Amino acid sequence: MLEAESIVVRLFLVAALFPYISIIPLSSDTQPWSLVLSAIGCALLLSRIRLYPIHWALLLLATAAAAMLALEGGGVGSLRNAVGYISMFLIAVMTTHAMRTHGHTVARFLDISILIWLGVGVIQRVFFKDAFTFLLGSARTSESRGVISLAPEPTYFATMILLMVLWRASLELKVWHAVVLLVVVVALASSAQVVIVLLLSASVLTFCLLFNPKYYLVAAGILAAGGVGAGTIILFLQSSRLGALAQLAIHNPSFILAQDASANERFVHIFAGLRSIVDKSFLPNGLLTQPWIEYVNGVIHQFPKLFWVPQYGDRIFSAAGAILFQMGFLCLPLVVLCVSAMTRWSKATAYKLTWSAAFVLTLLTALPLSHPLIGVLFGVIAYIGSKRGDYIADPSQDDTVYAMN
């Protein structure tokens, strides 16, 4: 039984860490194997799996999504949204179990996967931009954008590395993890979206450090590194989209929304998702995509000087926006329990707040709810809230994840 469990856990980790590898041609970028393996794992390990409060909050959303789908009917968009909520629940449960019982395996798989993603990205940047893209269902980039590694787009590549580093940071973060993250985001993927997430997260870290005199120099170093990084982007990446956006930001940050259609489209989804709390009285709006499109276009009409890209598709380009609009107050238990779990984490306050800021900011971006690493990080938070102790980064240990304080 233990051997079968180990195999299932390892297969699940591979599927979660390489979610775009196309074994069977499917129409979606994100492949469903993490969901399939987490469902199989939960069924096989039913007697060993523990459900923590965050899992129950995710189950509430999954149940509500299934009920909405049954009541509303709807098409492919509604089905995709419902599967996203079910996926978050099952993947979170499987992740928590894997971290609780196979902690060293999780850490090792993360390290290897980060290096594989980095290696493929370097090969594409240095030798051949289309290397290994035959493994993917689709590959979208251009001369002005970065490489994609094992993701469909450069931004997805950068986002994958960020989420994997956050997962690794819940166990033990090493300097090389942060270095890889910066190299990928700036030099390989050149993702403006993830650069913004990192800058805002670094701002949270700097603000926290300023309250402790012992870390004034560290805070100053972060600010200096940010300035040097911005200068480097402008000097050496002028021909890239990231460099162009950086120059716009220096002249006037509002120029980004005024002149870049992609940024404008992404930001209106974030803004509309948050604004729906007030406009829709925080009530659930269901899984049908047409109400969302009508609402977003209404926001665009209401703020014509800020937003100018009309919406026609059936996707919400913000995971957090989707949850807020579709589920309304039903997401409150998840929010409260996540905050409660993070307060029990034994890490320093600055560490916890920076980690939380990076995760929340990433949820605001154009990630689909079915992306496996969203469910993974909710499972990570459930794991954090379930214990009081620290991960043992000692390969000689069994797959016992933490030492109790």
The pLDDT of 173-180, averaged and rounded, is 94
* pLDDT recorded at residue 395: 43
330, pLDDT greater than 70: yes
Share of the chain above pLDDT 70, in %: 83
Total domain count for the chain? 1
At residue 83, the pLDDT reads: 94
248 falls within a domain:
yes
Is residue 327 within a helix (H) or strand (E), and if so which, with residue range? helix 319-327
Question: Does residue 212 form part of some domain?
Answer: yes
Output the six-digit token pair for 52.
């923590």
84 within a domain of the structure (yes/no): yes
- The 10 Å Cβ neighbour count of residue 189 is 32
**Long-range contacts of 225-230, Cβ-Cβ distance < 8 Å, separation of 24 or more:** 226/199, 226/202, 229/182, 229/186
Angstrom distance (rounded) from CA 232 to CA 226: 10
Residue 349 within a domain: yes
Q: Is residue 114 within 8 Å of 180, Cβ to Cβ?
A: yes
Q: Which residues are CB-contacts of 331 (< 8 A; sequence separation ≥ 6)?
A: 61, 323, 324
Q: What percent of the chain has pLDDT over 90?
A: 56
Neighbours of 221 (CB within 10 A): 13
Is 395 inside a domain boundary?
no
Ramachandran area for residue 132 (φ above 0: left; ψ -120 to 50: alpha; else beta): left
Residue whose C-alpha is closest to residue 226's, from 234, 214, 237: 234
Closest residue by Cα to residue 368 from 64, 22, 4, 34: 34
Asked whether residue 356 is domain-assigned, the answer is: yes
Across 127-136, 346-355, 379-388, least confident range = 379-388
Q: How far is CA 248 from the centre of its chain?
A: 26
Please give the mean pLDDT across all residues of the chain: 86
**Is the pLDDT confidence value at 391 over 70?**
no
For the entire predicted model, the pTM comes to: 0.90
Nearest to 159 by CA among 384, 364, 383: 364
Question: For the stretch 304-324, what's the b/e string if a residue is b when 16 or more beta carbons lie within 10 angstroms of its beta carbon?
Answer: eeebebebeebbbbbbbbbbb
Tell me if 399 is assigned to some domain: no
Which tokens hold the place of 113? 């996967």
* 153 assigned to some structural domain: yes
Sort 353 into a burial class: Cβ within 10 Å, 0-12 / 13-18 / 19+: middle
Residues 6 or more apart from 19 whose CB is under 8 A from it?
Answer: 30, 31, 33, 34, 160, 371, 372, 373
| 215-270 pLDDT, tens digit each | 767 767 776 766 666 666 555 555 666 666 666 666 656 666 667 777 788 888 89
Q: What gap in Å lies between CA 59 and CA 47, rounded to an integer? A: 18
pLDDT of residue 374: 97
Q: Evaluate whether 136 touches 150 at the Cβ level (below 8 Å).
A: yes
Residue 353's pLDDT is 95
pLDDT tens column, 107-142: 999 999 999 999 999 999 999 989 999 999 888 877
Q: Are 338 and 378 in contact (CB under 8 A)?
A: yes
| Domain with 234 in it | 2-389
Q: Looking at this protein, which amino acid is placed at residue 31?
A: Q
- The pLDDT score that the predictor gives to residue 162 is 97
Q: Is the dihedral of CA 195, 199, 200, 204 positive or negative?
A: positive
Task: Quick: pLDDT tens for 18-71.
Answer: 999 987 767 678 889 999 999 999 998 888 889 999 999 999 999 999 999 999
Q: CA dihedral in degrees (389, 390, 391, 393; nearest 10)?
A: -140
